[in-house]
Amino acid sequence: MILDAKIPEGPIEKKWTSFKNNAKLISPANKRKFKVIVVGTGLAGSSASATLAELGYEVETFCFHDSPRRAHSIAAQGGINAAKNYQNDGDSVWRLFYDTIKGGDFRAREANVYRLAEVSGTIIDECVSQGVPFAREYGGELTNRSFGGAQVSRTFYAKGQTGQQLLLGAYSALSAQIRLGRVNMHENSEMLDLVLVDGHAKGIVTRDLITGEITSHAADTVLLCTGGYSNVYYLSTNARGSNVTATWRAYKRGAAFANPCYTQIHPTCIPVAGEYQSKLTLMSESLRNDGRVWVPKAKGDTRLTQDIPEEERDYYLERKYPSYGNLAPRDIASRSAKEVCDEGRGVGPGGLGVYLDFSAAIARLGEKTIRERYGNLFEMYGNITGENAYERPMRIYPAVHYTMGGLWVDYNLMSTIPGLHVLGEANFSDHGANRLGASALMQGLSDGYFVIPNTLGEYLSTQFGKKVSTDMPEFKKTETEVRACVEKLLAVKGNVPVDEFHRQLGLIIWDECGMARSEAGLKKAIADIRALRERFWKEVAIPGTGAELNQSLERAGRVADFLEFGELMCIDALTREESCGGHFRVEHQTPEGEALRHDDKFAEVYAWMFQGQDNDPELLREPLHYEAAHLATRSYK
């Protein structure tokens, strides 16, 4: 199989316009005849459901939460980028495009990224008209901040709750369509499999989490908007429920999984405090605008911060990256923190932490200003750790936070399974090997509001007269398989709680496929994961039955998928013998310890095809052509 990205011809600035000019249209009368299944109600899912319903498609939307508003997009704090140039500081679509490509360490597909930058402005227009209360100046204009190392101020934000406000905007648009009867919403419904008819994605099988009922749903096309897989690490900043199940089961039905090893480790999270810990909390990256990162120069220095004199502190980011300093990109800031901790200079319990110090900013701007800017974050930090960050430095440590990898999609957001479209974090397309801060929200909404409504016609225009129904044997067969899978889990009847396996898997992946990866480590991880998977199927304990709300069962299904997925992630990391973005192979670094890319061999997307449970996956490659942006080594010195 050859991966055809279907990138439109022409110069990069014209690709999207020319695509739209030539795209297949579906007339309003025909849209009514097409049914679209949307799985997930985060930014991508809600916005796609609302917009497609508005256009006249019959939309059926599913989420495993009790309300579409609870999807994990809601937790994004920082902001959303848009090339509006309201600040007159030299921003442009080109610059946003280039920053995203460069931020992604030249491993993203140019055409997609340019399109993303191009529609970024209309996303802001859209959200404002939905009532998203972005931060404003006193005169009433929208305000912006510089975010995640960008040299222009192009980030729009709503306090520290931008994701919440954007999601509630999309949720309200979705709610309006539900009210009009154009979207049929199914809450508490978890997608457990994809149904293929003649090789095309034509439906899904879901389990009702309240009643345990397993049902099939048929449509003309399926949109997966099911987010990322950070929870393969067990501890991440993702919500507890975030999982890989929908994309993983689509993978097992033939969708290629691209770049699974590309994960983003966020540098400013609250450090792990103990084994009981169930999740990690992210502190907005905006904190790095005013906080200075440091550790003691001496190893094992346990003095209180105020007793460590200035000359015995190592402001390592300022030292190593003078021009970017504390605002160095996420992957660099994270890896630097790991390095100093590996050297034994980490602070706090277990030595896994570095200081983020606001004393200089408080002295310069006053506590009041700092309180205004970050009050809620300081409060959150105080609540979790019991420490007052106005008086002593915060302790931070990197944590997994976003996954750039995902199901492979072409320019139309369609996967290798015809009819299966993948949007938002669930696909791989726009961020390359590392995501620029404030770009995730942009991508989710761009895919849902502006891309899929234009690209869906390419597939649907080929599907006239090909109606399917859940009575077809394909649906019955898949349903039976899902039932068997649930029953298999319930039949294990071991005595080890699901969380235990998940935690152990997380430790393996964090250690060997986290901030730094090595061949030996990855090989060991693959063996360990296989052993753990075997234990899981012998010892997992799932009390209760399948015909009720059974949270152990839900989690067990998701962890079972993570246990398979983790292996693919390590295989991908092992195969990619270079360092790029969030993927750092210790064998491939410059003498100064920076990531060393091998553009000659690896400027390509790795997409993996499932070949059966007992066989190695097949590797497909999509070469990345850089026609507009020039391959360059990222330097933030």
Partner 1 sequence: MTRPATPSKATKKSCACCIPLLSSPIGRKWIVALTGIALILFVIGHLLGNLSIFAGPDAMNAYAAFLKSTGELLWVVRIVLLTCVALHIWFTITLWRENLAARPQKYAEKNDLGITVYARLMRISGLTVLAFVLYHLAQFTWEAFNPEYKTWVDVQGRYDVYRMVVTAFSCPFVSAFYVLAVGLLGMHLSHGIASLFQTLGLTTEKLRPVFEKGGLIIAWIIFLGFASIPTAVLLHLVKLPSSLPTCPFCQ
Partner 2 sequence: MSTMNFHLRLWKQKCASDKGEFIKIHATEIPSECSFLEMLDIVNNRLTREGKEPVSFASDCREGICGTCHMVINGVPQGPGRGAACQVYMRKFENGQPITVEPFRVGAFPIVKDLVVNRSAYDRIIRSGGFISEHTGGAPDASTSLIPKPVADAAMDAAACIGCGACAAACPNSSPMLFVGAKVTHLGLLPQGQAERKSRARNMVRTMQEEGFGNCSNYYACEAVCPANVPASVIAMLNREYIRGEVSEAIGAID
List, by residue number, the catalytic residues.
Answer: 330
Min. distance of Cβ 412 from partner 2 in angstroms?
18
CA dihedral 477, 616, 406, 60 (to 10 degrees): 0
Task: Report the distance separating Cα 494 and Cα 33, nearest Å.
Answer: 48
Q: What are 238's two structure tokens?
A: 């993702």
Under the binding rule (CB under 8 A), the answer on residue 228 touching partner 2 is no
Exactly one of 258, 380, 413, 568 binds partner 2 (CB under 8 A); which one?
380
Residues 188-217 contacting partner 2, CB under 8 A: 210
> How would you classify the pairing of strands 406-407 and 221-224?
unpaired
Under the binding rule (CB under 8 A), the answer on residue 461 touching partner 2 is no
CA angle 129, 66, 403 (to 5 degrees): 70
Of 281 and 470, the one with the shorter C-beta distance to partner 2 is 281
Give the burial class of 442: count Cβ atoms within 10 A of its Cβ; 0-12 exposed, 13-18 middle, 19 or more buried.
buried
Min. distance of Cβ 547 from partner 1 in angstroms?
6
Task: Report the distance separating Cα 481 and Cα 233, nearest Å.
Answer: 28
Task: Report the distance separating Cα 274 and Cα 254, nearest Å.
Answer: 40
Which of partner 1, partner 2, none has residue 208 at its interface (CB below 5 to 8 Å by kind)? partner 1
Residues 498-517 contacting partner 2, CB under 8 A: 499-500
Binding region for partner 1 (CB under 8 A): 208, 210-213, 547-549
Of 1 and 180, the one with the shorter C-beta distance to partner 1 is 180
Is 394 in contact with 353 (CB distance < 8 Å)? no
Of 493 and 621, the one with the shorter C-beta distance to partner 2 is 493
Q: What are 414's two structure tokens?
A: 């369609």
Residues 105-134 contacting partner 2, CB under 8 A: 122, 124-131, 133-134
Min. distance of Cβ 281 from partner 2 in angstroms?
5
Choose one: 271-279, 398-406, 463-471, 525-533; the region binding partner 2 (CB under 8 A). Answer: 271-279
Min. distance of Cβ 461 from partner 2 in angstroms?
20
Of 81 and 416, the one with the shorter C-beta distance to partner 2 is 81
Under the binding rule (CB under 8 A), the answer on residue 350 touching partner 2 is no
Exactly one of 22, 28, 179, 310 binds partner 2 (CB under 8 A); which one?
179
Under the binding rule (CB under 8 A), the answer on residue 276 touching partner 2 is yes
Task: Report the distance separating Cα 442 and Cα 438, nearest Å.
Answer: 7
Helix axis angle, 551-575 relative to 498-512, nearest 10°? 20
Of 277 and 575, the one with the shorter C-beta distance to partner 2 is 277
Which of partner 2, partner 1, none has residue 306 at its interface (CB below 5 to 8 Å by kind)? none
CA-based end-to-end distance of the chain: 42
Choose one: 220-228, 394-402, 540-548, 623-631; the region binding partner 2 (CB under 8 A). Answer: 540-548
Which of partner 2, partner 1, none has residue 212 at its interface (CB below 5 to 8 Å by kind)? partner 1
CA angle 386, 387, 391 (to 5 degrees): 155
Of 472 and 490, the one with the shorter C-beta distance to partner 2 is 490
Length of the chain: 637
Give the burial class of 257: count Cβ atoms within 10 A of its Cβ; 0-12 exposed, 13-18 middle, 19 or more buried.
buried
Under the binding rule (CB under 8 A), the answer on residue 384 touching partner 2 is yes
Collapsing DSSP states into helix, strand and coil, what is residue 193? strand
